[in-house]
Copies of this chain bind each other. A is one copy, B any other.
């Protein structure tokens, strides 16, 4: 059951160069015994922001005087495998493509055995507080985003 946003699973996986560890909290389970379906999206957010910090762009958005901030335009989660309390997961993130003021971010969550638990994607847009509309990336930022992918490709 492959998601439409994954053309070839093997080459898709190779594109990920960044990941963060997540340990499933008890409060994230539900009465069916597994991680509730509303939880992986919080893992995605945590991993995406760690990635943006790594790239050095999150810091700008968080400054009090910043006129720009990121907004999630859409998100998709595919639940490939049930996940249980206390599992130690890895949440991989990559920028799949870059638009004028947006980017398509992909997610791949694996468990301790390296099995795929969740996959996902979502567009993120940089918004201007003044206009309320998308604010274009600089050429420098686009270069940075492209390199974040190139770094992975080299591995």
Contact = CB atoms under 8 A, between A and B. Distances in A.
Interface of A: 1, 3, 25-27, 29-34, 36-38, 41-42, 45-46, 49, 53, 62, 69, 71-79, 82, 85-86
Complex copy number for this chain: 4
Nearest to A48: B26
A116 to B, nearest CB: 13
**A interface secondary structure, majority:** mixed
A79 B85 contact: no
A37 B85 contact: no
B3 A26 contact: no
B73 A1 contact: yes
Contact of A26 (B31, B76, B85, B86): B31
Contact of A27 (B42, B53, B69, B71): B42
A69 B33 CA distance: 11
Contacts of A29: 30-31
A27 B38 contact: yes
Contact of A38 (B38, B73, B78, B82): B38
A49 B37 CA distance: 13
A42 B33 contact: no
